[in-house]
């Protein structure tokens, strides 16, 4: 049964991105069937692995190893099933960790975490509150006042006005008729994307190359009329632009800095728009990370201007709640399984005190005897937890392949969960030694 589950999961892992072309029914059957059979296989294979470990101990011919092997072979099946239960709990917890990692690898969470951490972060400042966004225009004099105020704030890396530009004479229902324009300088453009071929003397279309994930790559569409286009500047008149040689955005490098690919498709030197004499509805600010810089910006802004909220901050709180739920359930699952195993193992050790007393009475060294008891408890645990950790990691990789996510559970996560469970199992095994310790008395040596 474990072999069938492993084969199904390996089929998904080896297929990789090709599995995304499978039918939904095939994907679900392969993933759910493989994961379910692997979980059942852990429970079914644990007694078999324990017996195999006992055979290996017998071959060493060491006294403590032979005692442990005979103890495993005589162990009630119910005790071994509890070990299997702990292994299945570990398997499920690894699945829960993958769910958490799925949340933690979303671009919106990574972007929010970056903004609240080391940065950089993008902010917007405008002349009205959020409900009035884009409805209030900052006149050129006001723009200069706000820019001067922001430039004095330590940690502000860039400030540039945001103008509303729209293509003239283009079908409003055609997507390529609504490109994003970046108005500024080449240095300012370099703050929001990794770009080459930029010149402050001429506008240009921004192409995109080197995507980190071709499946999520956005490629800007050429503009109607390129290279000669006419745009309307909101609040002003028309502006005719002759697009020069293309600029090129390195998407992978931009995503490394900003998480997302930049969506700006046309670069327009700021002096060309300033010449129209119109104002901007807001300013784009690039700053270091953290909330402290936001407070400093808010305190510095002139009256009548506002720092607009960052919508993705809530992603950090949302993931923190998911993390709390998953950690709590994982601790409950592992803790309950360990407690049940500990109580059963200790009770069984106490029931064997008479056997232990007789072995001590005939001259068996206490160290040899207690080493055997410890090995007897550890061998099934080690075998079951190793199996659960391996199959859990495989199931997570299969899920990542089926969903198109990046690899979700890294070696550090798997190692941490597996090691924590193994340490708990070790403590349970060590608890059997004091439970089996006894003082020789006539009552223990008497045989009815």
pLDDT exceeds 70 at position 104: yes
CA 307 – CA 128 distance, rounded (Å): 9
Angstrom distances, CA of residue 440 to CA of 63, 64, 354, 361, 369: 21, 20, 9, 7, 14
Greatest mean pLDDT among 353-367, 372-386, 409-423 lies in 372-386
- Whether residue 211 is predicted with pLDDT greater than 50 in this model: the reply is yes
Do 170 and 224 touch, CB atoms closer than 8 A?
yes
Backbone region of residue 184 per phi and psi (left: phi > 0; alpha: psi in -120 to 50; beta: other values): left
Tens-digit pLDDT profile for residues 405-419 = 655 555 566 666 667
Q: How far apart are CA 226 and CA 228, in angstroms?
A: 5
Strand partners, 179: none
pLDDT over 80 (residue 321)? yes
Domain ranges of the chain: 2-110+316-445, 118-313
**Mean of all residue pLDDT scores within the chain:** 79
Backbone angles phi, psi at 198, to 5 degrees: -90, 145
Q: What is the mean pLDDT of residues 212-241?
A: 83
Mean pLDDT to the nearest integer, 150-178: 85
Tens-place pLDDT, residues 328-361? 888 888 888 888 877 777 777 666 666 666 666 6
pTM, full prediction:
0.69
| pLDDT of 448 over the 70 cut | no
397-411 mean pLDDT: 66
What's the whole-number mean pLDDT along residues 109-114? 88
Residues 6+ apart with CB under 8 A from 177: 167, 170, 171, 223, 224
pLDDT of 253 strictly over 90:
yes
Structure confidence at residue 234 (pLDDT): 78
Determine the Cα–Cα distance for residues 307 and 257; give it in Å rounded to an integer: 23
Q: Do residues 97 and 274 make contact, with C-beta atoms less than 8 angstroms apart?
A: no
Cα(379)–Cα(80) distance, integer angstroms: 11
Q: How far is CA 417 from the centre of its chain?
A: 15
Report the SS3 class of residue 117. Answer: coil
For residue range 127-136, list pLDDT tens digits in order.
765 554 444 5
Q: Where are the alpha helices (DSSP H) in 214-302?
A: 251-258, 270-274, 292-300
User: Over the Cα atoms of the chain, what is R_g?
Assistant: 33
* DSSP characters over 136-203: SPBPHHHHHHHHHHHHTSTTEEEEEEE--EEESS--TTSGGGSPEEEEE-HHHHHHHS-EES--TTS-
Question: Which comes out higher in pLDDT, residue 421 or 258?
Answer: 258
The full DSSP string for 255-269 is HHHHSSPP-EEEEEE
3-class DSSP state for residue 78?
helix
Q: What is the DSSP string of 328-365?
A: HHHHHHHHHHHHHHHHHHHHHHHHTHHHHHHHHHTT--
Helix axes 63-74, 24-60, angle to 10 degrees: 130
Task: Quote the percentage of the chain above a pLDDT of 70.
Answer: 80
- Would you place residue 188 in the very low, low, confident or very high pLDDT band (cuts 50, 70, 90)? very high
Tell me the mean pLDDT in the region 98-116.
83
Angstrom CA distances, 285 to 176, 183, 225, 377, stand at: 27, 13, 32, 62
Secondary structure E strands in 288-324: 306-307
Least confident among 84-93, 174-183, 263-272, 372-381 = 372-381
Q: Give me the mean pLDDT over the 229-255 stretch.
A: 89
Q: Any idea which of 150-154, 183-187, 390-394 has the lowest mean pLDDT?
A: 390-394
């Amino acid at each position: 049964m474990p072999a069938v589950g492993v084969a199904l999961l390996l089929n998904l892992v080896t297929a990789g991105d090709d599995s995304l072309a499978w039918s939904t029914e095939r994907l679900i059957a392969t993933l759910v069937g493989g994961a379910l059979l692997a979980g059942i296989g852990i429970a079914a294979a644990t007694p078999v692995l324990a017996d195999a470990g006992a055979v290996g101990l017998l071959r060493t011919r060491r006294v403590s190893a032979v005692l442990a092997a005979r103890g495993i072979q005589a162990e009630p099946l119910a005790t071994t099933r509890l070990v299997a239960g702990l292994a299945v709990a570990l398997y499920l917890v690894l699945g829960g960790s993958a769910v958490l990692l799925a949340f933690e690898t979303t671009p919106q969470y990574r972007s929010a975490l970056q903004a609240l951490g080391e940065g950089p972060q993008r902010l917007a400042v405008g002349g009205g509150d959020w409900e009035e966004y884009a409805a209030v225009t900052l006149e050129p004099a006001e723009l200069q006042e706000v820019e001067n105020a922001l430039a004095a704030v330590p940690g502000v890396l860039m400030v540039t006005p945001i103008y509303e530009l729209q293509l003239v004479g283009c079908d409003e229902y055609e997507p390529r008729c609504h490109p994003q324009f970046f108005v500024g300088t080449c240095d300012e453009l370099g703050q929001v994307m990794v770009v080459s071929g930029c010149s402050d003397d001429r506008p240009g279309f921004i192409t995109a190359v080197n995507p980190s994930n071709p499946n999520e790559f956005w490629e800007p569409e050429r503009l109607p009329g390129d290279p000669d286009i006419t745009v309307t500047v909101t609040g002003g008149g028309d502006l005719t632009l002759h697009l020069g040689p293309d600029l090129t955005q390195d998407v992978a490098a931009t995503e490394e800095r900003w998480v997302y690919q930049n969506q700006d498709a046309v670069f327009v030197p700021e002096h060309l728009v300033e010449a129209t004499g119109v104002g901007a509805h807001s300013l784009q600010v690039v700053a270091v990370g953290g909330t402290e810089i936001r407070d400093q910006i808010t305190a510095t802004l002139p009256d009548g201007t506002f720092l607009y909220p960052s919508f993705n901050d809530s992603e950090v709180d949302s993931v923190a709640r998911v993390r709390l739920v998953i950690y709590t359930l994982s601790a409950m699952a592992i803790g309950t399984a360990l407690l049940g195993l500990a109580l059963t193992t200790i009770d069984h050790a106490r029931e064997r005190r008479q056997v232990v007393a007789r072995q001590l009475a005939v001259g068996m060294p206490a160290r040899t005897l207690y080493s055997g008891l410890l090995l007897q408890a550890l061998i099934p645990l080690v075998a079951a937890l190793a199996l659960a950790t391996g199959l859990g990691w495989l199931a997570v990789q299969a899920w990542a392949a089926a969903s198109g996510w990046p690899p979700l559970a890294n070696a550090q996560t798997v190692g941490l969960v597996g090691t924590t469970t193994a340490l708990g199992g070790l403590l349970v095994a060590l608890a059997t030694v004091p439970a089996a310790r006894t003082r020789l008395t006539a009552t223990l040596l008497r045989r009815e």
